[in-house]
Amino acid sequence: MNKIKKIAAALLTVSMAVGLAGCGSSKDGGGNTTESNAASNGNYDKIVYSYATFNNIPDSDTLDTVEEAINTITREKIGVEVELMPVSIFEYSSNISLGLQGGDQIDVFQSLGDFNTCIASNMAYDLTDIIDNSAPEAKALLGDKFLRSCTKDGSLYAIPTYKPYALTPMIIYRQDIADELGIDMTQVKNIYDLTAVLKQVKAKYPDMTPLIPAQSGDSGMGRALGNVDYLTDDLRAPKGVLIGDDTTVTDLYNTEEFAKLCDLTRTWYNEDLIMRDAATTTSTATELMSSGNSFCYIASYSYPEEDTAASLAAQCGNMDLGAVKIGEAYLGTDSINSVSWMVSSTSKVPEAALKFINLTFTDKEIVNLLIYGIEGRDYVKDADGYVSYPEGKDAASVPYTAQLSCGTLGNYFIMYPMVGTSKESLAWEEEQNVKAKTSPAMGFTFDSSEVKTEYTAVSNIISQYLPGLSCGSVDPTTVLPEFIEKLNASGYEKIINAKQEQLDKWMAGK
């Protein structure tokens, strides 16, 4: 298994500034698209399937066992053998980009919030002409409404994960600590209500970290904005957004609410209520909660509060967790295409790659092998079909699990439910996909190719400034104006104008 070595080599030899000119046309895929006759002659198409994991990366021997269990199915069903390439969530986007630039074989990958960049950089194969033969079931399952969010100029470039799409911002917290201190978390209705709770926890447990980041640089403040469509970007790097029902593309960083949230997180930082290195840590929220010295974090989930808490508790050694909403569910285009599956433009077997993507939407064994690993070793299943970790084990100690990626891989609705969750919630979750408040720009995708230079420059500035502002580790009274000035000097307004022009054209033809 040379997956990690390949990525490491790419990181050493390829600069981030290098384009994807060598990746081939997204139309021709850079390879042969004839139908495979592997099943009849015993020669199987080989594909590399790379997925982001929030859990530990398994060792090569462990990964081999999961691969072989999957290949036992895929050889017979689609004439394909699969090599798994799990990559840490924190390194995923850069590693995939660098790997493709370096010529590594990566046939299937996730957009992971970079849908627009993947298209503009010619990383994704045009699936329009092959989906009917290679993934008809996935196409029928998702329908035009959701597939439309993964198109550009009428061409389909990705298959969105089928899951509860409408994200609800929540606080995930230690229920045992809340109960001990007499804190009624149901009274926390928004992010500003949280400050008093954090102070109470800090007063009682001075060595405990009241608030940790959901991931590096993400304090949760962006999730508190509510009803924001990032117009093909995501909350990690907004570059022109819609707020509410208004179809005017807005500079989020110049809004009063953004400045107010920066002041809030700065207060948290100054009063030692948020993790000091929240802007730079590489630890996941699950790891930090499992350590037993953290109280809460803010994240967005597509599941009922009780199910969310139960699923996350299983990741933290069955810690007593609770979850409370601090906003309403919202469905924007980015809710769908931010977690979508692409066939790389460099793939020599794009149909085989898409056939495997199709299996992750239709084959229960495949998707549960990807998420849970090997039954008996990595998880156990009870008579009612609920799964848990083997006795004495948790997400950090089993040889393989990608359970925290359950909302990113294939078809969520055919995954085994975790103990403590409710199967009845699945109907509620599918209903949310239909009933949740929806952006007026649902289905719009932004083409950044005309502002590619500005997009890169602005993205770099956002990466430099936003984590510190989000986590309170810099003073917004001086840093926020500096941030805005640098954005403007890098062509930020040109991006916003381009988004507005494209959106107006899209709305007119809707």
Judge whether 208 and 201 are in contact, CB under 8 Å.
yes
> Residue for token digits 């898409």?
354
In whole angstroms, give the CA distance from residue 41 to residue 398. Answer: 38
Judge whether 233 and 334 are in contact, CB under 8 Å.
yes
For the chain, the farthest-separated pair of C-alpha atoms sits apart, in whole angstroms, at 70
Q: Which residues contact 461 (CB under 8 A, 6 or more apart)?
A: 483, 486, 487, 490
For residue 298, which of 194, 407, 196, 420 has the smallest C-alpha distance? 194
Judge whether 45 and 352 are in contact, CB under 8 Å.
yes
Domain ranges of the chain: 3-164+336-380
> How does pLDDT run along the chain (510 residues), one tens digit per residue?
443 333 333 332 222 222 222 233 333 333 333 344 444 456 899 999 999 998 889 999 999 999 999 999 999 999 999 999 999 988 888 899 899 989 999 999 999 878 888 888 899 999 999 999 999 999 999 998 789 888 888 899 999 999 888 888 999 999 999 999 999 999 999 999 999 999 999 999 999 999 999 989 999 998 888 889 998 887 788 899 999 999 999 999 999 999 999 999 999 999 999 999 999 998 888 889 988 899 999 998 877 888 889 888 877 777 999 999 999 888 877 778 888 999 999 999 999 999 999 999 999 999 999 999 999 999 999 999 999 999 999 888 999 999 988 888 999 999 998 887 777 777 777 777 777 888 999 878 888 888 989 999 999 999 999 999 999 999 999 999 999 999 999 999 999 999 999 999 989 987
Q: Which two tokens stand for residue 418?
A: 């975790």
User: Given phi > 0 = left and psi -120 to 50 = alpha, else beta, which region is 2?
Assistant: alpha
Judge whether 19 and 118 are in contact, CB under 8 Å.
no
Quick one: the chain helix, strand, coil %, rounded to 5? Answer: 45, 15, 40
In whole angstroms, give the CA distance from residue 411 to residue 161. Answer: 6
In whole angstroms, give the CA distance from residue 5 to residue 56. Answer: 17
Please write down the HEC assignment for all residues of 493-509.
HHHHHHHHHHHHHHHHC
The superfamily (CATH) of domain 3-164+336-380 is Periplasmic binding protein-like II (3.40.190.10)
Q: Give exposure, 101-126, as e/b (b: 16+ Cβ within 10 Å).
A: bbebbbbbbbbbbbbbbbbbbbbbbb
> Residue for token digits 């802007």?
279
Judge whether 140 and 304 are in contact, CB under 8 Å.
no
pLDDT of residue 33: 37
In whole angstroms, give the CA distance from residue 145 to residue 327. Answer: 25
Judge whether 470 and 479 are in contact, CB under 8 Å.
no
Does the CA dihedral 320-326-328-334 come out positive or negative?
A: negative
Judge whether 265 and 467 are in contact, CB under 8 Å.
no
In whole angstroms, give the CA distance from residue 321 to residue 308. Answer: 9
Q: Which residues contact 275 (CB under 8 A, 6 or more apart)?
A: 209, 211, 212, 213, 281, 288, 294, 471
The pTM of this model reads 0.68
Q: At what angle do helices 364-372 and 350-362 cross, to 10 degrees?
A: 90
pLDDT of residue 410: 93
